[in-house]
Amino acid sequence: MLSLVFLTGLNLFNYLDRFVLAAVLGPLKSDLQLNDGDAGFISTAFMLGYFVTSPFFGYLGDRFPRKWLTAAGVFVWSLGTILSGLAPSYGALLACRVLIGLGEASYATLAPGWLADLFTAEKRNNALTIFYVAIPVGSALGYVLGGLVEHAYGWRWAFGLAGAPGLLLAAALAFLPEPARGATETNAGAADGHGKLPAWRDIGGIFRLADYNLTLLGYTAYTFALGAFGVWGPLFLVRQHGLANHNADTFFGAVLVVAGLVGTLLGGFAASRWQRRNPAGYALTLGWSATAGAPLALAAFLAPGAPAAMTLLGLAMFALFLPTGPINTLLLESVPVTLRASAMAMSIFIIHLFGDLWSPWIIGQLADVWHGLARAVLVLPAVLALAAFFWLWLAVKHARVSTAGR
């Protein structure tokens, strides 16, 4: 339990450090005299450092002790955050954001597999749900604390104070015991020392596993939609319904905390109970969440007034946070235990390369071509429906296997 609390706390700082940039982007842009394109590329620099290096850490994580690789990742991302506040130029700031992405890639790739080896299959999804609830909470804290510190002391101090705790936490991580790979599995030979180290061809074999592929295809579509929604959602309310910019940002921050926290916990714990009664429980949680989220998002984008649009957007966000834990549980449990780090690494690489790396830009381009953001965002519910298709396909597959095994 101590390891779960500690790793979840680190994940919270992971997302706090990542999203403090959004809280200070305005004054940072003014101070460094950047245009909108330059300011937008700061996030792209982080993403390049993050998803491009994740397969490398997945390869290392299935071969070497994860504790030291994870501690190094925490140290590197925290150092990069502090250095962001000291950056004397735009180029230096971009280098710091790449460094943060590299450090976070190590942690995001290795920590879930570490947790999977601490908990049995019956408890694993609940543990991963708690771990991933740090996403909305940490993201919201990045907005709130970053804004408060920037207002009081300036944007450079916001980066410094966000990154400093990670340096201490990285050192403390060295004292946590690391479980053997497959330590909580019931099948013989799953743990460390009972099998050969995976080769590159074994990593390629992940993509011959139908469960992994269906989970990942749905996850990629889901990430595409959420990535664009996170960028354009507040501006949609500003342009379509006349909200002030700060009111739209406040609304999304509040909904992110409430819907993210409640939705992630409720969806994860309910999925665990469902899975004990039905082997397709995890997949059904994914499929029905996206099935509910798609029409709610469509209704929100077509709503005639701000109150209805905001209510429906809040409900859509709640529905789309429900599968956060089960997605990662399915990814980890669909591959051999010796390939869990590689499986997480490849999922990170693919969902970002084909998902949120491009989706904000695509929606922006469509808004220009179709003469309005209101039309362009209608693509997103359709993409969520595609995610629902893949995940319900997976659920049907699991249900058939269960029926055949009786």
Is it the case that residue 199 has pLDDT exceeding 70?
Answer: no
The Cα–Cα gap between 380 and 224 comes to 8
User: What is the pLDDT, as a whole number, of residue 194?
Assistant: 45
Cα–Cα distance for residue pair 23/17, rounded to 1 Å? 11
Look at residue 396 and tell me whether its pLDDT is greater than 90.
yes
What is the mean predicted confidence (pLDDT) over 8-29?
A: 85
Q: pLDDT, tens digit, for every residue of 107-163? A: 888 888 888 888 888 888 898 889 988 888 888 788 788 888 888 898 899 999 999
Could you read off the pLDDT of 358-395 as tens digits, one per residue? 888 888 888 888 878 889 899 999 999 999 999 999 99
pLDDT at 315: 95
Q: Report the pLDDT value the prediction gives residue 93, as an integer from 0 to 100.
A: 94
Residue closest to 373 by CA, chosen among 381, 362, 364: 364
- Beta-carbon contacts of 46 under 8 Å, excluding residues fewer than 6 positions away, are 18, 21, 97, 98, 100, 101
pLDDT, averaged across the chain: 86
Distance CA 384, CA 219 (A): 10
d(CA 196, CA 175): 27
Nearest in space to 56 (alpha carbons), one of 112, 132, 117, 110: 110
DSSP string covering 271-284? HHHHHHH-TTHHHH
Q: How far apart are CA 231 and CA 63, in angstroms?
A: 37
Neighbour tally for 52: CB within 10 Å: 17
Is 64 a residue whose pLDDT tops 90? no
| Alpha-carbon gap, residue 16 to 144, rounded angstroms | 10
Lowest mean pLDDT among 96-110, 141-155, 196-210, 225-239: 196-210
Structure tokens at 2: 């101590």
Ramachandran angles phi, psi of 377, nearest 5°: -70, -15
Q: What is the structure's pLDDT at 297?
A: 95
CB 38, CB 90: distance < 8 Å: yes
Indicate the residue type of 161: L
Closest Cα partner for 312 from 302, 325, 321? 302
Listed range (8-22, 70-84, 384-398) with the worst mean pLDDT: 8-22
CA proximity to 11, closest of 79, 109, 96: 109
Higher-confidence residue: 218 or 352?
A: 218
Q: Which pLDDT score is estimated for 242?
A: 86
What burial class does residue 279 get, using C-beta atoms within 10 Å of its C-beta: 0-12 exposed, 13-18 middle, 19+ buried? middle
Structure tokens at 341: 């780090």
Say yes or no to pLDDT of 19 above 90: no
Cα 102 off chain centre by: 15
Predicted pLDDT at 187: 53
All structural domains of the chain, each given as residue ranges with its CATH number in brackets, are: 1-182 (1.20.1250.20), 202-406 (1.20.1250.20)
Q: Compute the average pLDDT of residues 62-85.
A: 90
pTM of the model: 0.81
